[in-house]
């Protein structure tokens, strides 16, 4: 018995036994800011992600989530992570036209038919470019909502020419450029503000995925809805570099493991399911017209978007990248993941 006690004492003194190195790491608290409401499926996915980090770090990393723009406006979230106002933030790069030209390839219309494997595809593709284009933050992962479409308050828009004179809230910078080329007037508003600008007549149409039409009350002020997967808006989670640098090697590994294409898929899936399920709900509402495009109408929309692709290529050239190679890589990765339009 005495011998056994002496052995246990020796093991303890040497730091051997069950306690892994991560148990010695200092506790870290991270503030994670995003701008959707708590009932949004992305919030639930973020909670699951944070819980997994806490468990994997043996409780040494605690991520506290602040939804609904509590810590800052949606448009400011990249700078909030860069400047250390928050440790982690949810960024929509499309809210800042011209700042992130490479990643905006994801915003080009008619690329994705779903955003589950599509999210993993865009994340896998962008990792090659993230360290340069988003060099003042620590890139974590990227995902997207299920493909969105266009919704209108006053008239049934079927062809690009119908957009002339329409006051429109675009979902991202590429869609804004496209609508402007069609003669529409763009109205800038984050997703939680769409209903307000439509209700006040500041805008007469908006881009949104289906589930969010109900979540943000857009269904209360719109009547006409194109039934086609037109676009996605990429969503990016980034970390403050100083916060990441202070982590122990074991804690960094935990964060790296949770900043992956696999986690992009996990986070995107419940959101994609929620958004795709919203279409049937809108169809069931009285007074709503959900209408498909004919092959000829769809071809006209595709044709109208060609100059936007050319504009995107010109912007990417300024970064020193070959835009055709960048876009081809994205499309190949999307096709590999069975997510191509």
Q: Residue 34: give its domain's CATH number.
A: 3.40.190.170
- Asked if residue 195 belongs to a domain, the reply is yes
Question: Would strands 167-169 and 185-186 be described as parallel, antiparallel, or unpaired?
Answer: parallel
Residues 325 and 203 in one domain: yes
On the question of pLDDT at 1 being above 80, the answer is: no
When pLDDT is cut at 50, 70 and 90, the band that residue 340 belongs to is very high
Q: Which pLDDT value is given to residue 24? A: 83
- Long-range contacts of residues 94-101, Cβ cutoff 8 Å, at least 24 apart: 94/171, 94/172, 94/173, 94/174, 94/175, 94/233, 94/234, 95/172, 95/173, 95/190, 96/173, 97/173, 97/176, 97/177, 98/173, 98/315, 100/133, 100/134, 101/133, 101/312, 101/315, 101/316, 101/318, 101/319
On the question of pLDDT at 8 being above 50, the answer is: no
pLDDT tens-place string over residues 123-135: 999 999 999 999 9
* Mean of per-residue pLDDT scores for the chain: 93
Residues 185 and 85 in one domain: no
On the question of pLDDT at 334 being above 80, the answer is: yes
pLDDT tens-place string over residues 160-217: 999 999 999 999 999 999 999 999 999 999 999 999 999 999 999 999 999 999 999 9
Residue-range definition of the domain harbouring residue 57: 26-144+233-274
- Interval 14-38 mean pLDDT: 73
pLDDT tens-place string over residues 137-150: 999 999 999 999 99
- Asked if residue 280 belongs to a domain, the reply is no
Residues 45 and 102 in one domain: yes
In angstroms, rounded to a whole number, what is the distance separating the alpha carbons of residues 200 and 195?
8
On the question of pLDDT at 22 being above 90, the answer is: no
Residues 211 and 319 in one domain: yes
Residues 222 and 101 in one domain: no
In angstroms, rounded to a whole number, what is the distance separating the alpha carbons of residues 292 and 148?
14
Domain count, the chain: 2
On the question of pLDDT at 11 being above 70, the answer is: no
- Asked if residue 9 belongs to a domain, the reply is no
- Interval 45-53 mean pLDDT: 98
- Asked if residue 19 belongs to a domain, the reply is no
Residues 225 and 291 in one domain: yes
- Interval 10-39 mean pLDDT: 68
pLDDT tens-place string over residues 248-306: 999 999 999 999 999 999 999 999 999 999 999 999 999 999 999 999 999 999 999 99
């Amino acid at each position: 018995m005495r011998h056994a006690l002496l052995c246990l004492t020796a093991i303890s003194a040497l730091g051997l036994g069950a306690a892994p190195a991560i148990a010695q790491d200092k506790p870290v608290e991270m503030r994670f800011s995003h701008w959707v409401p708590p009932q949004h499926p992305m919030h639930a996915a973020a909670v699951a992600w944070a819980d997994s980090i806490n468990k994997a770090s043996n409780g040494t990393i605690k991520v506290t989530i602040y939804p609904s723009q509590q810590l800052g406006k949606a448009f400011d979230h990249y700078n909030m992570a860069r400047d250390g106002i928050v440790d982690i933030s949810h960024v929509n790069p499309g809210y800042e036209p011209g700042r992130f030209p490479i990643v905006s390839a994801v915003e080009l219309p008619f690329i994705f038919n779903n955003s589950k494997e599509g999210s993993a595809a865009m994340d896998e593709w962008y990792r090659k470019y993230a360290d340069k284009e988003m060099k003042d933050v620590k890139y974590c992962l990227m995902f997207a909502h299920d493909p969105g479409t266009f919704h209108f308050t006053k008239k049934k828009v079927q062809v690009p020419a119908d957009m002339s004179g329409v006051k429109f809230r675009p979902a991202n910078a590429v869609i804004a450029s496209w609508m402007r080329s069609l003669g529409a007037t763009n109205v800038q508003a984050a997703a939680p503000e769409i209903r307000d600008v439509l209700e006040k007549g500041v805008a007469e149409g908006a881009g949104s995925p289906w589930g969010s039409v109900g979540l943000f009350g857009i269904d209360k002020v719109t009547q006409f809805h194109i039934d086609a997967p037109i676009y996605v808006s990429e969503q990016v989670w980034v970390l403050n570099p100083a916060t990441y640098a202070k982590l122990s090697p074991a804690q960094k590994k935990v964060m790296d493991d949770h900043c992956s294409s696999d986690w992009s898929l996990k986070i995107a899936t419940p959101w994609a399911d929620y958004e795709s399920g919203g279409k049937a709900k809108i169809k069931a509402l009285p007074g709503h017209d959900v209408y498909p495009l004919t092959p000829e109408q769809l071809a006209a929309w595709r044709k109208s978007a060609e100059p936007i692709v050319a504009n995107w290529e010109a912007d990417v050239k300024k970064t020193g990248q070959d835009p055709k190679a960048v876009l081809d890589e994205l499309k190949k990765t999307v096709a590999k993941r069975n997510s191509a339009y």
